[in-house]
Amino acid sequence: MKNIPSIHKSSSQPQKLAALRQAHQDWNNTPDVLTRLTRRLSTTLSLEQHLAILAEELGAIVPFDTLNYRHQIGKQDFVYTTGMGGPHRCEYRLSLEGVNYGILVLHRKQRFSEQELAGVEMILSAAICPIRNACQFIAIEQASLTDSLTGIPNKRAMVDALQRASLLSERHGEPYSLILCDLDHFKAVNDTHGHVVGDHLLQIAAAELEKAVRTSDSVYRFGGEEFAILLPHTPEQDAKDVADRIRSAIAGIRIDAGEKELNITTSCGVATFLPKESSQEWLARADEALYRAKHQGRNCTRVFATIS
């Protein structure tokens, strides 16, 4: 067999590697603002950090008093502001390939010149792709924490929230309560009316739960027909009152199921966080209270460690 020379070997390979090393040094050390901006933005997927970097690099070229950015990503309103003041403004709608990625507004005391506006646009043109990537990262992260049927946060999001709430309650000594509620006889709804009706009922139930609680409270889909509500700064009795209000809201749902109107009830279990316990232990106590509610007649509220 003849020896076949490698196509990868070349007498110019050392020169190519040397050129690569030089290019790498130039990339890291260049004083060019656009290269430096692009390099810095490539180090993170955090939209907040992107905007902080953009504000720093932009301010060195075109001075401003205030930078404001706002964008709605899914259900989240993202707002970033640095500085304050300035009656004169320039506003940019950031878009790429027809997709909107937020609005950026600059304010300052003096008018912006045409040259300055052109400079801002050049810098934004270098930043728009990283900003798009950061927005898409947030959207993907949101999707991973959102129940696709009801649009509310899912069990993974709830577990994360419980861990944070446990730490905050321990640190500040504030009461945090958890409600688990389970739609009564939901399997019979699916068996009798089908999963389309069952899914519709779950969507309505999720919407009613969000309406029945405060904006500071959080509603999660914990399981099939089971929901969780996290109540910050809420002691046990107040949490029980919220659970009873939730039961009334669910009992008020009416769905046209053909031959007759469909309605449903829910059972609730309540547990208030105890010092030194883990979030898993807290969740287990709420689940135990829900278990008692389901096995003591349903359509009722039970609080862990109470006799009722």
What percent of the chain shows pLDDT beyond 90?
A: 77
Is 4 a residue whose pLDDT tops 80? no
pLDDT at 226: 96
Q: How confident is the model at residue 269 (pLDDT cuts 50, 70, 90)?
A: very high
pLDDT by residue (tens digit) across 255-267? 887 777 888 999 9
pLDDT at 7: 45
pLDDT at 300: 96
pLDDT at 3: 53
Tokens of 243: 């659970």
The 3-class SS string of 6-37 reads CCCCCCCHHHHHHHHHHHHHHHHHCCCHHHHH
Amino acid type, 151:
G
Is 79 a residue whose pLDDT tops 50? yes
Out of 3.40.1080.10, 3.30.70.270, 3.60.15.10, 3.40.1280.10, select the CATH number for domain 155-303. 3.30.70.270
Average pLDDT over residues 215-236: 95
Catalytic residue among 57, 208, 225, 226: 225
Q: Are 252 and 242 in contact (CB under 8 A)?
A: no
Architecture (CATH level 2) of domain 27-144:
2-Layer Sandwich (3.30)
Gap between the Cα atoms of 218 and 158, Å rounded: 9
Is 2 a residue whose pLDDT tops 80? no
Burial class (CB in 10 A: 0-12, 13-18, 19+), 285: buried
Among 15-19, 60-64, 144-148, 284-288, the minimum mean pLDDT is found in 15-19
Gap between the Cα atoms of 54 and 127, Å rounded: 7
Residue-by-residue DSSP string for 79-146: EEEEE---SEEEEEEEEETTEEEEEEEEEESSPPPHHHHHHHHHHHHHHHHHHHHHHHHHHHHHHHTB
Angle at 150 between CA 72 and CA 134, to 5 degrees: 30
pLDDT at 306: 47
Gap between the Cα atoms of 21 and 152, Å rounded: 50
What percent of the chain shows pLDDT beyond 70?
A: 95
pLDDT at 260: 77
Same fold across 27-144 and 155-303 = no
Closest to 103 (Cα-Cα) out of 94, 112, 111: 94
Gap between the Cα atoms of 114 and 112, Å rounded: 7
pLDDT by residue (tens digit) across 9-21? 555 888 888 888 8
Return the C-alpha torsion angle 82, 85, 91, 92, nearest 10. Answer: -10
Closest to 225 (Cα-Cα) out of 198, 247, 262: 198
Question: What does pLDDT average to over the chain?
Answer: 91
Model-wide pTM > 0.85: no
pLDDT at 11: 54
pLDDT by residue (tens digit) across 111-164? 999 999 999 999 999 999 999 999 999 999 999 999 999 999 999 999 999 999
> Is 261 a known active-site residue?
no
Gap between the Cα atoms of 56 and 53, Å rounded: 5
What b/e string do you get for 100-109 counting C-beta neighbours within 10 Å, with b at 16 or more? ebbebebbbe
Among 2-11, 119-128, 204-213, the minimum mean pLDDT is found in 2-11
Boundaries of every domain in the chain: 27-144, 155-303
